[in-house]
Amino acid sequence: MEFKDYYQILGVSESASADEIKKAYRKLARKYHPDVSKEANAEHRFKEVGEAYEVLKDPEKRAEYDQLRTLGARGQDGSFQPPPGWESAAGFGGGGFTGADAGHFSDFFESIFGRAGRAQRTYGRGGRQQSFRMRGEDIHYRLPLFLEEAYNGGERQIQFQVPESDEQGFVKYQQKTLKVKIPAGVGAGRHIRLKGQGAPGIGGAGPGDLFLEIELAPHPLYSVDGNDLSLTLPVAPWEAALGATVKVPTLGGPVSLKIPPQSQTGQKLRLKGRGLPGNPPGDQYVILQIVMPKLSSQRARELLEELAREAAFDPRETLGV
């Protein structure tokens, strides 16, 4: 029995991740699909790729296969013998197949994992028996939004590239235009799934999905943390010292905010529910920043000098200097 190096067949390393294995499989399956490939050994390679993926995609079967690579005996003529008393625990009992026909698997596969029932078959062009059905690839699209767009929601028109295989098996990209609805309150990093808007499937399988990943453009006033917003609010010294009611901008329009007496720079006040919409909605935090005015007259200087004498205040007292 000839040993099958499934990693070599897929062109991946033994440490390849599940995503790397899946990506390699999809690429080779499209390349050697008998309906589109013109290569002489396409059908044989197509079966090999399907068999390799059937094992490596499953963590339990992959672990068993990795043990066999280490423990099995290999002859100089390329023959392979599993360890004495070997019996697969993974098997295929009721587990189904990725789309490959179990009857097309090699003797190596069947000796390791046992024979399985025949998978349902489909037919390609010319009545040729096929067993391959592959769902279309998912497409990921980064959608940049202004913060106001994320707050209000709305509709955007986007253009993206969709991979499609031609009759020769070559992948070409077609431009697709789509109008998408943006829900109010969508935040940075959130994914919006549009079912069936990805790449078309093969062998009658369904298309993939389109995933929109939201990116928010920097805003001149607000910083964003999840659904919460933060705004730095300049206040005059007398507003901070005596307290005041001032107008504060929010994405939903200006609101009145009460600044308590003896407020300090860096003090944070909350406007509940004034962040991005959601369930529950976010809040808007207002961070106070005391701003000194320019001395525009001699009288203003005299008033500050009087305040300095009256207050007897040393802001550096805690420094011990």
157-166 pLDDT tens trace: 999 988 876 6
Six-digit token pair at 63? 């672990």
pLDDT score recorded for residue 117: 32
pLDDT score recorded for residue 116: 39
Instruction: Say if pTM beats, i.e. exceeds, 0.85.
Output: no
Q: Is 4 exposed, middle or buried (0-12, 13-18, 19+ CB in 10 A)?
A: buried
- CATH 2.60.260.20 positions along the chain are 139-216, 222-311
- CATH 1.10.287.110 positions along the chain are 6-130
Task: Give the fold, CATH level 3, of 6-130.
Answer: Helix Hairpins (1.10.287)
In CATH terms, 139-216 corresponds, of 2.60.260.20, 3.40.50.700, 3.40.50.300, 3.30.70.100, to 2.60.260.20
Of the candidates 54, 157, 37, 150, the one whose C-alpha atom is nearest the C-alpha of residue 101 is: 54
Q: Is 19 exposed, middle or buried (0-12, 13-18, 19+ CB in 10 A)?
A: exposed
Close Cβ partners of 3 (under 8 Å, ≥ 6 residues apart):
72, 74, 78, 79, 80, 108
pLDDT score recorded for residue 66: 82
Q: Are residues 61 and 113 in contact, defined by beta-carbon separation less than 8 angstroms?
A: yes
* Integer Cα distance of 64 and 76 in angstroms: 23
In CATH terms, 222-311 corresponds, of 2.60.260.20, 3.20.20.70, 1.10.260.40, 2.40.50.140, to 2.60.260.20
Six-digit token pair at 65? 């296969």
- The DSSP symbol for 3 reads -
Task: Name the stretches of the chain with pLDDT < 70.
Answer: 1, 71-79, 82-104, 111-134, 165-171, 202-203, 321
